[in-house]
Amino acid sequence: DVKVTQSSRYLVKRTGEKVFLECVQDMDHENMFWYRQDPGLGLRLIYFSYDVKMKEKGDIPEGYSVSREKKERFSLILESASTNQTSMYLCASSLRVRMRYNEQFFGPGTRLTVL
Amino acid sequence: SQELEQSPQSLIVQEGKNLTINCTSSKTLYGLYWYKQKYGEGLIFLMMLQKGGEEKSHEKITAKLDEKKQQSSLHITASQPSHAGIYLCGADVTTSGTYKYIFGTGTRLKVLA
């Protein structure tokens, strides 16, 4: 079974703090994704990585950065947390097949609250 | 407007009843995926549909893909409280020749015992 783990289930941070969210997958997937999920807005893609050290901006990258130094690990960084970044953050991974995506496997999510 | 529209947004059914959730794309579909999310948790992959007319089943859940309409339906037979949660469709689409993976906003299902 594919396993995607996220470093924390719940996190509370203060405005202006630097926040690291880590995601690890154990199935050698090329693609990894970071989403945020908010009521009424659904899942929105923050960043996507299709290989080590490769990243692409998603729909809402502002205020976030990412790091992928190893294939199994994809980190999301909030450089200076703000209250509007309070959200549920979901990491996912998938195989990359013929330049297309595939079903995604999700971690349990991190509920981040920024005070 | 949403590229992947789900309907209904929410649904409350009595245990034992059948129900259908629809997902319609405004872009050309190359793959349609159904996920289930329990409240406050991550998404669990249910099924993938890739060819027009394809139909797949998992326990009491059946999904179909209508390629002409760019639409998929998820049907639950004899619903149970364990079916409660949020159902999301995801899709491989192309926009100006670029592949993209998008999600619907979800259908919140409640099953009354």
Identify the pLDDT of residue A39. Answer: 85
The structural domains of chain B, with segments of one domain joined by +, span: 4-112
What is the distance between the alpha carbons of residues B49 and B32, in angstroms, rounded to a whole number?
Answer: 5
- Chain B residues touching residue A90 (CB < 8 angstroms): 42-43
Contact A48, A70 (CB under 8 A): no
Q: Is the pLDDT of residue A113 over 80?
A: yes
β-partners of residue A70 are: A73
**Which strands sit side by side in the sheet containing A73-78, from one edge to the other?**
A4-6, A19-25, A73-78, A64-70
Identify the pLDDT of residue B78. Answer: 96
A109 touches chain B (CB under 8 A): yes
Residues 48-87 of A with CB under 8 A from B: none
Query: What mean pLDDT do residues B75-91 have?
Result: 95
Average pLDDT score, chain A = 92
Return all residues near A101 (Cβ < 8 A) that are at least 6 apart: A31, A94, B31, B92, B99, B101
A101 touches chain B (CB under 8 A): yes
Contact B79, B13 (CB under 8 A): yes
Query: What mean pLDDT do residues B99-107 have?
Result: 86
The structural domains of chain A, with segments of one domain joined by +, span: 4-114
Identify the pLDDT of residue A101. Answer: 63
Which fold would CATH assign to domain B4-112?
Answer: Immunoglobulin-like (2.60.40)
What is the distance between the alpha carbons of residues B51 and B68, in angstroms, rounded to a whole number?
Answer: 11
Summarised one tens digit per residue, pLDDT across range B37-57 is: 998 888 999 999 987 788 999
CATH number of A4-114: 2.60.40.10
CB atoms near residue B82 (< 10 Å): 10
Tracing tokens 């993938």 back to the chain, one arrives at B48
What is the distance between the alpha carbons of residues B22 and B65, in angstroms, rounded to a whole number?
Answer: 10
Percent of chain B with pLDDT over 70: 99
Helix (H, G, I), strand (E, B) or coil at A4: strand
Summarised one tens digit per residue, pLDDT across range A38-64 is: 988 888 999 999 899 999 999 899 999
Q: In 3D, which of A26, A81, A20, A72 has the Cα closest to residue A49?
A: A72
Q: Give CA separation, B92 vs A24, A78, A101, B49, B52, in Å.
A: 24, 28, 7, 11, 14
Contact (CB<8Å) B43/A99: no
